[in-house]
Structure 1
Amino acid sequence: MKYLIIFFTLFSFSINAQNVLKFDKRNVQCEDKWVAYQMDKDSTYMFGFIYIDAQAGLTLNYEGKFKIDNKGKFNRVENDVNSKTGFIIARLQPNRVAIAEIPESKFKELNIQKTPEWLKNYKSDENSVERLYNWGYMYNGWNECEKALTFLEKADKIDPNYKGLQTELAFSYNALGKYDKAEISLKKAIAQNPKDCYTYKELAFTYTNTANFEKVAETYKTMSKICSEKVFIQETAYNLAYEYYKIKDKVNFKKWKAEVEKWANSDSQYIKNLIQMEIELSK
Structure 2
Amino acid sequence: MKKLFIICLSILFFTNANAQENSELKFETNFYDAINKWVVLPKKDNDSLYTYGFIYIDISAGITFNLGGSFFIDKNNKYIGEAQPAYQMIIKRLDNPNIVKMSILGDDKVKELNLTKEPDWLSSYKFSEDSVENLKQLGYHFNHVGACEKALLYLNKGYQKEPHHKGLEFEIAYAHNHLGQYDKSIPILEKALKNDSKNYSFYRELGYAYSKLNKLDMAEKTYKKGISLSDSNFEKSEMAVNMAQGYFLIKNKAKFDEWAKITKTYAEKGSQYAQYIDFFEKEWNSKR
Q: TM-score range by the shorter chain?
A: 0.7 to 0.9
Task: Give the Cα–Cα distance (whole angstroms) in 1 for the partners of residues 47 and 236 of structure 2.
Answer: 55
1:225-244 maps to which residues of 2 (within 5 A)?
A: 225-244=228-247
1:18 matches 2:22 = yes
Contact persistence 2:95–2:144 (CA under 8 A): no
TM-score by length of 1: 0.82
- 2:250 is the alignment partner of 1:247: yes
Q: Is the partner of 2:22 in helix, strand or coil? A: helix
**Unaligned stretches of 5+ residues in structure 1:** 1-14
1:19: Cα distance to partner? Answer: 1.9
* Correspondence 1:127-166 to 2 at 5 A: 127-166=130-169
- Among candidates 62, 65, 73, match of residue 67 of structure 2: 62
Contact 1:174/1:206, CA 8 A, preserved across alignment: yes
Q: Which moved more, 1:55-64 or 1:258-267?
A: 258-267
Distance 1:147 1:211 in 2: 28
- Deviation by residue 1:235-266 (Cα, 9 ceiling, x = unmatched): 22221211222232223222322333444466
| Equivalent of 1:111 in 93, 111, 114 | 114
TM-fit CA distance, 1:149 = 1.3
Q: What residue is the counterpart of 2:89 in the other structure? A: 88
Mark the CA change 1:112 to 1:219 in structure 2 (over 3 Å): closer, same or farther.
same
1:137-216 paired onto structure 2 within 5 Å: 137-216=140-219
Please say which of residues 132-141 and 31-40 is displaced more in the overlay.
31-40
State percent identity of aligned pairs: 35
**Conservation of the 8 A alpha-carbon contact between 1:62 and 1:89:** yes
Q: Is the 8 A contact 2:66 2:89 kept in 1?
A: yes
C-alpha contact (below 8 Å) 2:59/2:127 kept by paired residues? no
Conserved 8 A contact 2:41-2:50 = yes
Matching of residue 29 in structure 1 with residue 33 in structure 2: yes
For the 8 Å contact 1:104–1:114, the answer to whether it is kept is yes
Amino acid at match of 1:222: K
Q: For 1:16 and 1:229, how far apart are their aligned partners in 2?
A: 48
Cα RMSD (Å): 2.6
Matching residue's letter, 1:70: K
Q: Per the alignment, in what secondary structure is the counterpart of residue 228 of structure 1?
A: coil
Deviation at 1:145, TM superposition (A): 1.3
Q: Distance in 1 between matches of 2:284 and 2:243?
A: 16
Q: Say which of 220, 224, 242 aligns to 1:221.
A: 224
Distance (whole Å) between structure 2 residues aligned to residue 261 and residue 42 of structure 1 = 50
Tell me what 1:5 maps to: none
Bigger drift between 104-113 and 206-215 goes to: 104-113
Unmatched 5+ residue regions in structure 2?
1-18
Give the aligned length: 265
Rounded to whole Å, the distance in 2 between the matches of 1:56 and 1:259 is: 36
Structure having the higher Rg: 1
Given the superposition, is the C-alpha separation of residues 227 and 46 from structure 1 closer, same or farther in structure 2, using an over 3 Å criterion? closer
Secondary structure at the aligned position of 1:19 is classed as coil
Paired residues of 1:59 and 1:89 also in contact (CA < 8 A): no
Q: CA deviation at 1:66?
A: 2.1
